[in-house]
Amino acid sequence: MESAIPAHLQCPRSRPRRVPDDYVPPYPSFVARHAPTVQRVVMAYFGVQSPTPRAPAAEAALAELQQRFGAANGPRHWDRARYTDEAGHDNVFCTAYWDDPSRFDAWFAAHGRDWTRTARDGLGRFTEILQPDVRYYETLFSSPDRSEGIATLATGMSDVVMEHAYWGGARDRMPASQTEAMEPSGEPRIERDGARTSITGHGALCLIRSGQDWSDTDGDERRMYQHDVEPVLRQGMDFLRDRGLEVGCFANRYVTVEDAAGRPLEKSYGMSWWKSLAKLERWAESHPTHVAIFGAAMKYLSTLGPAAKLRLYHEVTVARADEQFFEYLNCHPRTGMLRAL
């Protein structure tokens, strides 16, 4: 068993972990390991929004974007997802990842900047980008043999790690937590230019992407996930979507992952923007909606034990204000970080 924090990012702690040094987690989990040369990554969400499900213009826009990803300096990995938002609009977006910000900057200037700069098809469009230092995000996987999200850029997975299966584990897995509280600072700033709105968030804004992959399940396990776990998860995701501001969540999307042609896969994830890591932790530890999710998941995993084929993962990021970019064109006012206003 090893620490979730890689050796080259470990330092003397001025802030203790929430568990003692001899803590042993009740089940194995793993984290992504980047090459020591990677100092910063890019997580970029490019989306289209339409009141009409699967509007031809939206499908064409995403197909064009996916072609752009193949251009010089394009992302090393991208995936596609869809969800229906609180206004009933269809949102489909691609999430792209880089581990070299200079390559992203070159690609974005040539192929991404105009995504929200030109109204050309009547769609809403949004761009949401974080460029965090590797000390300010963490990952966690229930299985070491299938990567998702930013972990697809890693050189591999860790052995079993210690810092998980307790409240506060996500914070303890971040290298910055050794010395920093990661508390929010400042206020979001807004700039309007006609139908386009740009936002710079406050310091220590938090993003979580937390996913499920049930493609390997079958029989009783699949029925258990679909009937006992997923409905409880959906209730919690809907609460954050509709009433998240009450608990410090600016926006939540519970999405179905799709292939490049827009066909749904047996994968989903929730991604949400939070006022702070502390707000996310408080919801996870004490709010009835997440307590119910946790209880359903623990019953599922304790029933199946090591035979469980459901794969779970997440990534949690804390970003400075100057590491954020949010831009919205022709989107309704409850879209993404527009709700922060």
Instruction: Determine whether 227 is an active site residue.
Output: no
Cβ count within 10 A of residue 65: 21
Torsion of CA 154, 158, 162, 164, to 10 degrees: 40
Distance (Å, rounded) from C-alpha 134 to C-alpha 291? 30
Contact, 207 vs 128, CB < 8 A?
Answer: no
Structure tokens at 123: 């769609």
* Per annotation, catalytic residue among 34, 287, 314, 332: 314
Distance (Å, rounded) from C-alpha 192 to C-alpha 221? 50
Per the listing, tokens 């969540």 go with 249
Distance (Å, rounded) from C-alpha 233 to C-alpha 252? 13
Contact, 262 vs 54, CB < 8 A?
Answer: yes
Distance (Å, rounded) from C-alpha 195 to C-alpha 306? 52
Contact, 76 vs 95, CB < 8 A?
Answer: no
DSSP 30: B
Which residues are identified as catalytic? Answer: 314
